[in-house]
Structure 1
Amino acid sequence: MKKIGFLSFGHWSDARGSRVRSAEESLRQSLELAVAAEEIGIAAAHFRVHHFAAQQSSPLPLLATIAARTSRLEVGTGVIDMRYEAPLHLAEEAASLDLLSGGRVQLGIGRGSPEAADRGYQRFGHTPRDDESPADLARRHTASFLSAIGGDGIATPAPESGRAGALLPITPVSPGLRERVLWGAGNLDTALWAARQGMQLMSSTVIIDDKGIPFEHLQREQIDGFRSAWREAAWPWEPRVTVVRSIVPLVDDLSRAYFGADPRRDEGSGVLQGLAYRFGGSFTGEPEELVERLRADSALAAADTVLITIPNQLGVDYNARQLAAVHAIGRELGWHE
């Protein structure tokens, strides 16, 4: 069985044709789509996080509102850039959200992708130490965050409290949340690192590696390496792999008008900040064709959850129809009943 969720970038723009023209509309429509997705049978709603841009930047209030309006839908991120985060504050907020949602949080965190601002995390008060890179800063924040949500003692009791002895943990602590943190891994090495830290794997449509082999093979290598490293680390909970895919069923005139002219958008490669990368192609076509193409994807076959990227600026009705079509395709593939 495989869960299906959606991943929204939460864009807004007043450009011609956009149905999401402000931050308020982006938030309200994200809530509406999440409610509709649960009614369709979609299992998870995830939101991308970017700062200093016309996208979602503070996801936890949105996730809390979605959790209050739904009963089964998992809520999560993909991903929170840990360079920008005060880890103990994030731990308190994430634990509170998890308790309110009844344990439905799937929190995706990571080093983050390129942001609009140059070293914007410094404006948030976070600067790498002299011996650190920005990636090291993200990992240091991550270690503090994982320790905190796991209930470890952190702070020395105040002398006047009369509580000498054990260090104080953050409050609240939500049992099980530590097991539901996903690391957005950009390559095989970071996937192995995530497994050794006891974090679940989230693998996107971009891998910072290009060995001249198809994207799905690169991603399958990442997944297999993660599962092997998890077994070696012997964590007492089950590993979970989430992959992101662009899946666009052509089911009506609108979807054909937007995406039907170039239905086979192949994968490719490029250079990002001096590093070679490969990106996955788009699965666009008639539903019957997509069933066979998705069945042949070896990396997708190895995943536990697939998150469908959505063009959120096309509005709630369009994306709800697309999610319903993907849900039907998933049934044909045996991903769910």
Structure 2
Amino acid sequence: MPTSSTPLQKLGFLTIGTFDGDDPGPGMEALLAEIELGEQLGLDSAWLRHRHLQHGVSSPVAVMAAASQRTSRIELGTAVTPLAWENPLRLAEDLATVDVLSGGRVNPGVSVGQPMHWDDVRAALYPDTADAEDFGYERVLRLVRHLRGDPASSFSGVRGIEVFSDRVQPHSPGLHERVWYGASSLASARWAGEQGLNLLTSSVVKADGPGSFAELQRAHVETFRAHHPLGDAARVSQGLVVIPTDTATPAQREKYAAYAASRLPRTASPQGPARLLFAPDVVGTSEQIAEQLYAHPAFQLVTEVAFALPFSFEHDDYVQILTDMATRLGPALGWQPG
């Protein structure tokens, strides 16, 4: 069994919450059941990946609100919300509301950049202001300022019988310190560190230097911490696709192996104009996975993970994976359930 001098402190999972476009209810109910299961298993966090105009979670904040009323301990996050689709002031109100409802368990993960399929959605998303919108880092800073409680209005006081605040209401102290940035490049990792944010790393990086996926991801973590006020204490969460098979049926193991094999070719070299480099999916027994992770240059620097669930599996598969993750893989990494 592999060993490490630094046990894993936080173990969570990431999902997109797929559903049938003609009957979305059962898929959404299954997603909430999986979050409940994560809490029952002692997992530390459940993260939702944004999927606009797809058969996945388009409104993580709404799902987190529902999950907050069916759980009491597990942290709830977004990984990530593309801020190009959001008004930071309105998003701050929603996030603060759910944070209060959940008892301070929300972890907003965000990213910037032009919306995907911009030419196809710009007329619906920003019919009058598309050319004036700023999709850069300032959008993140606006969100942080609103969550922190900086003035959002030049007026506060009483008008008639109504009382107005100059900051986002409800105000949830500490929420702004739980903002995570989803960085895929060395430059964005450095910027996130300079701003004092937390860092989300995923199974995709931009090949902006030499080396393997793992080596590039490690460089991102090192750069982030080198420019963060907290240095090596700055929080980083790693998100790889990890599929433990300890209690899987033979049919499940075959499906998991085929899934990983079908995605392996894209990991051989950078893909597309953005030169995106994908990490291989990690499939095997918990002991085998732990051995691979302890040898992973980026994993060696983190004490928090949010392993991504495969996108196209069934609810029973997710139950098996989450159960093995919490009862087999977590302990193999030195983790203890919450």
Shorter-chain TM range is 0.7 to 0.9
Q: For each residue in 1:223-270, what CA deviation from the matched residue of structure 2 results, as whole angstroms up to 9, or x when unmatched? A: 011111103xx69x9621111111112232232120235867473323
Q: CA RMSD in A?
A: 2.7
The answer as to 2:239 corresponding to 1:244 is yes
Aligned to 2:268: 268
Aligned runs of 1:166-205 on 2, under 5 Å? 168-205=166-203
In 1, the alpha carbon distance for the partners of 2:208 and 2:194 equals 24
Provide the C-alpha distance between the structure 2 equivalents of 1:262 and 1:48, rounded to a whole number of angstroms: 20
**Percent identity at matched positions?**
29
Measured after TM superposition, the shift of residue 331 of structure 1 is 0.7
- Contact residue 247 and residue 284 of structure 1 kept, 8 A: yes
Tell whether the 8 Å contact from 2:84 to 2:114 is kept in structure 1 after alignment.
no
Distance, in Å, in 2 between the alignment partners of 1:143 and 1:210 is 25
Distance (Å, rounded) in 2 between the aligned partners of 1:286 and 1:113: 39
Contact 1:7 1:78 in 2 (8 A): yes
| Deviation per residue, 1:244-300 (Å, 9 max, x gap) | 11111223223212023586747332333x221211111112332222111111211
Question: Is 1:330–2:330 an aligned residue pair?
Answer: yes
Pair 1:304 & 2:303 matched: yes
Q: How does 1:1-337 map to 2 (within 5 A)?
A: 1-13=8-20, 22-111=23-112, 115-116=116-117, 118=119, 120=121, 123-125=124-126, 127=129, 136-157=134-155, 161=159, 168-231=166-229, 239-250=234-245, 251-261=248-258, 265=264, 267-272=267-272, 274-311=273-310, 313-327=312-326, 328-336=328-336
Name the CA distance, whole Å, in 1 between partners of 2:151 and 2:107: 23
- SS of the aligned residue for 2:228 comes to helix
- d(CA) in 1 for partners of 2:242, 2:101: 32
Aligned equivalents of 1:220, 1:71: Cα separation in 2: 34
Letter in 1 for 2:11: I
TM-score (norm 1): 0.86
Q: Secondary structure at the match of 2:27?
A: helix
Partner of 2:4: none
Helix, strand or coil for the counterpart of 2:307?
strand
SS state at 1:53 partner: coil
Question: Using the alignment, how far apart are the partners of 2:80 and 2:114 within structure 1?
Answer: 9
Equivalent-residue separation in structure 2 for 1:336 and 1:207 (angstroms): 29
**Contact preservation (8 Å) 1:2, 1:303:** no
Deviation of 1:58 (Å):
0.9
Which range is displaced more, 276-285 or 220-229?
Answer: 276-285
5+ residue gaps, structure 1: 15-20
Q: Cα gap change, 1:312/1:276 in structure 2, threshold over 3 Å: closer, same or farther?
A: closer
Contact 1:5 1:308 in 2 (8 A): yes
- After TM superposition, the structure 1 stretch with the greater mean CA deviation from structure 2, 204-213 or 84-93, is 204-213
Name the SS for the 1:323 alignment partner. helix
Which residue number in structure 2 is paired with residue 18 of structure 1?
Answer: none
Structure 2 residue runs of 5 or longer lacking an equivalent are: 1-7
CA distance in 2, matches of 1:308, 1:96: 27
The alignment of Structure 1 onto Structure 2 pairs a total of residues equal to: 320
CA separation of 1:121 and 1:94: change in aligned 2, threshold 3 A: farther
Mapped contact 1:99–1:174 kept (Cα < 8 A): yes
Give the distance between the partners of 2:117 and 2:39, measured in 1 at CA.
32
- 1:82, 1:139 within 8 Å by CA — same for their partners in 2? no
Larger displacement relative to structure 2 (22-31 or 39-48): 22-31
Conserved? CA contact 2:85–2:115, under 8 Å? no
Deviations 1:198-243 (A, max 9, x none): 2110111111125341111100110011111103xx69x9621111
Q: 1:230 to 1:210 in 2, by over 3 A?
A: closer
Residues 84, 121 of structure 1: 8 Å contact kept:
no
Q: Quick one: distance in 1 between partners of 2:41 and 2:114?
A: 31
Q: TM-score, normalised by structure 2?
A: 0.86
Rounded to whole Å, the distance in 2 between the matches of 1:31 and 1:268 is: 35
Name whichever of 32-41 and 288-297 sits farther off: 288-297
Contact 1:149 1:174 in 2 (8 A): yes
